[in-house]
Structure 1
């Protein structure tokens, strides 16, 4: 196995500056991730502010119930025991629940959380617990109801749950029936090529999906199967038991809502003033909270002294909203700007593991932490990888391609290679024939037109027909060249579809089960053995 650092396009300038310590990005965050004593400073602040968070034992008791149901492993129980200690801290990160754990970036984020917790524990000499926050309250069903595997064609095969919710409900609230789970399992079994690992893979998937209420439960069980032995604690942000504990925090988010809105708007203006782009919208009058009404998740806004949604389905005064929180806390959930505040109200968060886009929008929340007498935690970028399988590497060597060339697009290089296979020079010959025909035939048409004007359009039509026939033969020759090189072109396609499917980085498209099917569960051990990197470096792993 070789590991080579590379770059990926489309990163966030703000996140990159924050990680590298360049520009004015660091002014937008609480801690300097490169500062030698950042962990010590954050730990000291957390020790002094335990009173700002929910009761530790109550939170752990809630997590015990959830993890015993979906993530029941001895290492997880040990993590929860350690979390009860008054000196324990946490590293947390999360993602929406996705079909078959969603894209591989989810796996890399979970691995980063575990590695970051281990490193922090060694540096501080005190317990640091890894926690994965399943964003089950999110309602973007079309974003999480599918995944992809790489077929032999090659192409990315989409596997999707056909269920279409009637309302914009949270992912955890959407029930997936047994027939839909069965179809999804049949689809991925059909799409995965036969291998010595396939039976074990399908057994794992069946365990995760069977009897699961919805995506979040299946996601939790599969994530537990992959990381439970490493002590990764899971929580579902839509867990009703957790919601009851969070009622007091939701009350604070409502009571200080105007101040929070001003803090978000002030931070957003500062980000733009520094020359960066906003990653999340900051709406005027936005409450940055969702209210679940008749099963539908509605984003609340402040208008005319009321908390209401865009369609006016609900309209509550602040006092009515606070009362509703006391009676039905399960009807409330956070958006991307209040979720960080909720997370730090639950746990002594030493560091939060985020994608580059998340690091960017977290900058909007710094002043909001201060409103609630809190501080933004240390932010760590998740690890980022591209896996290059031996067959793909062989093809890259064969066609003298490196990762950067694949990343920047293969189409033009593939055309150049194909043109070089035209050993008879047919493309050049056709160009010569068309040029010679036009040169000889054009004067003939002009002379014919002098004899009789009506012969000129006839001649031009005839010229177009002849040129069309030449083009037709040229196409047939080109198709013959393609057939002669069909195997090689499939190899070019294999490179592209493996590393940048659908024009995106591999980690954003394929499920990890595609690679586990090819390489076995040792692949997970390999990922966990890769040295941690918190500098946002993308690494290409040649398996």
Structure 2
């Protein structure tokens, strides 16, 4: 295995906001707290200790986790980490993700590896403290269409059924047939048989999507001490109830996030917009927005209505029925965990930037934000082909048409670039325009039109010449296109579409140790793993 790296901004796949954050641009200073480096973590530890989770809250957290793991095989490392959460010198590093079928896209693994590796690094740097890697399952999400499939060999393995309410509560009807179909596609190698067994034990032998997901993630990462948490728990929701009450009565998140958005959107795209109440009402088969209208709290698309007194009583008796949306879920996480940092993808980190002032308004410590590791898996054979084609690693990230045009110009024995001629033409027309101004101003329009016509003519000639050279070097260009399509399915990062099973078939039980060895979350660079 060889490791190659390049800056995130050189890949062309990350937003201006993320690139500016990694470059520590001053214009973003007010939207985040400590930066994700060792000095930042030293400061964050000091900050978090001042607002540490109290003993009773830690007991609730550990009790809830033990209950959630009660029907699962818990590794010694995970059990040790859970129990360590009772100590005031134990802190968490957290990532979160939807309950995608069979983990969904590859980057799910990279998130968790980032969390595990960071806790190890922090333990080496700050040995007097304990650091626990946490995966937060998005069990209360209701976007079924986003999680009901994964890609394998260019095809969707899909779970088709009716869905309503929180996806984590869904029973697993229909997975018998999916398991058979997926098993057929996998084949009969040793690695294929492991994947078949993993899939079947998860989705055929468990009662709901939450438990199936916990089983898979625990099987893959339990030996590394990963702690998996489900926020859809009464005891944990009770810890969050005061924030929910504030949201119902004061709309604090809407007010604070709206202020931040006005400032942030001057330079960047806003990821999410707050509602006046950023909560859902959660029941069996139901997750609908809470709306305040005509002095009443109404549950969207239902006949359920509460007065202020009634909804506060409902919160007091059934806190589990109040589910935070994307704006409030981060705050819920930071309320019940002794958390130092959140690790997420570019889109996630972007919406966390909208939340700092909201956290301040409700007196909650804002965590460090760390962009997860991103990875391109490339075989030695593929990289040797690129080398023979004289295509660098950075070049292979380019948009395909841009890459092809660049390589045609490099392969040609003469320049396919009429920039010099265009510059000469512009200079000639400057003189004509000056002459027109000195004689007849109405002549300027004709001069401008002629200049545009001739420049367009040069553009057309350049394109025709480029097209002719593409035909000449068709063989080389086809080889470049083929390998780029292998590395970037659908002209995008493979981590956003391919499932881990693609590489597990080839690498087997070496895959996850390889990732753990290769990825350093604080290097803040895109990683190419040559295997």
Which residue number in structure 2 is paired with residue 507 of structure 1? 495
**Matches of 1:17 and 1:343, distance apart in 2:** 26
For the pair shown, the structure with the greater C-alpha radius of gyration is 1
Aligned CA distance change for structure 1 residues 161 and 279 (closer, same or farther; 3 Å): same
Which residue number in structure 2 is paired with residue 111 of structure 1? 113
- SS of residue in 1 equivalent to 2:156: strand
How far off is 1:414 after superposition? 7.3
**1:233-271 CA distance string (max 9 Å, x none):** 00122245544554444334434x423321111111121
**Matches of 1:222 and 1:494, distance apart in 2:** 34
Which residue number in structure 1 is paired with residue 103 of structure 2? 101
How far off is 1:514 after superposition? 1.3
How far off is 1:219 after superposition? 1.6
**1:483-506 CA distance string (max 9 Å, x none):** x99xx96x7676344322223211
Aligned CA distance change for structure 1 residues 227 and 416 (closer, same or farther; 3 Å): same
Which residue number in structure 1 is paired with residue 272 of structure 2? 280
- SS of residue in 2 equivalent to 1:369: helix
Q: 1:382, 1:534 within 8 Å by CA — same for their partners in 2?
A: no
Which residue number in structure 2 is paired with residue 171 of structure 1? 167
Q: 1:198, 1:517 within 8 Å by CA — same for their partners in 2?
A: yes
Which residue number in structure 2 is paired with residue 133 of structure 1? 136
**Matches of 2:187 and 2:387, distance apart in 1:** 24
> Which residue of the other structure, out of 26, 36, 51, is the alignment partner of 1:33?
36
TM-score by length of 1: 0.78
1:267 equivalent to 2:260? Answer yes
Q: 2:34, 2:41 within 8 Å by CA — same for their partners in 1?
A: no
Q: 2:64, 2:233 within 8 Å by CA — same for their partners in 1?
A: no
**Matches of 1:493 and 1:13, distance apart in 2:** 27
**Matches of 1:413 and 1:55, distance apart in 2:** 55
- SS of residue in 2 equivalent to 1:297: strand
Q: 1:249, 1:345 within 8 Å by CA — same for their partners in 2?
A: no
Give the number of aligned pairs.
Answer: 466
Aligned CA distance change for structure 1 residues 384 and 298 (closer, same or farther; 3 Å): same
Aligned CA distance change for structure 1 residues 174 and 56 (closer, same or farther; 3 Å): same
Which residue number in structure 1 is paired with residue 46 of structure 2? 44
Which residue number in structure 2 is paired with residue 450 of structure 1? none
**1:346-369 CA distance string (max 9 Å, x none):** 011111112111111111111111
Aligned CA distance change for structure 1 residues 408 and 39 (closer, same or farther; 3 Å): closer
**Matches of 2:505 and 2:390, distance apart in 1:** 28
Aligned CA distance change for structure 1 residues 406 and 19 (closer, same or farther; 3 Å): closer
How far off is 1:107 after superposition? 0.5
- SS of residue in 1 equivalent to 2:179: helix
> Which residue of the other structure, out of 202, 217, 224, is the alignment partner of 1:208?
202
Which residue number in structure 1 is paired with residue 222 of structure 2? 228
How far off is 1:183 after superposition? 2.1
How far off is 1:65 after superposition? 1.8
Q: For 1:17-32, what aligned pairs fall within 5 Å after superposition?
A: 17-32=20-35
1:159 equivalent to 2:157? Answer yes
Aligned CA distance change for structure 1 residues 51 and 305 (closer, same or farther; 3 Å): farther
Which residue number in structure 2 is paired with residue 462 of structure 1? none
**Matches of 1:104 and 1:395, distance apart in 2:** 24
How far off is 1:173 after superposition? 1.6
Which residue number in structure 1 is paired with residue 522 of structure 2? 534
| Long gaps (5+) in structure 1 | 419-480
**1:376-422 CA distance string (max 9 Å, x none):** 1111111110101244335434544444444324468779999xxxx
**Matches of 1:102 and 1:292, distance apart in 2:** 25
Which residue number in structure 2 is paired with residue 190 of structure 1? 184
- SS of residue in 1 equivalent to 2:251: helix
1:520 equivalent to 2:508? Answer yes
Aligned CA distance change for structure 1 residues 164 and 416 (closer, same or farther; 3 Å): farther
- SS of residue in 2 equivalent to 1:30: coil
Q: 1:67, 1:233 within 8 Å by CA — same for their partners in 2?
A: no
TM-score by length of 2: 0.80
Which residue number in structure 2 is paired with residue 55 of structure 1? 57
Q: 1:192, 1:514 within 8 Å by CA — same for their partners in 2?
A: no
Which residue number in structure 1 is paired with residue 320 of structure 2? 330
Which residue number in structure 2 is paired with residue 217 of structure 1? 211
| Long gaps (5+) in structure 2 | 409-470
**1:3-42 CA distance string (max 9 Å, x none):** 21234324222222222201411221122334x5322322
Q: 2:53, 2:88 within 8 Å by CA — same for their partners in 1?
A: no
**1:281-329 CA distance string (max 9 Å, x none):** 223xx21111125622112233333333554644333332221112222
1:342 equivalent to 2:303? Answer no
Q: 1:71, 1:234 within 8 Å by CA — same for their partners in 2?
A: no
Q: 1:19, 1:535 within 8 Å by CA — same for their partners in 2?
A: no
**Matches of 2:216 and 2:194, distance apart in 1:** 13
**Matches of 2:151 and 2:86, distance apart in 1:** 39
**Matches of 1:368 and 1:307, distance apart in 2:** 23
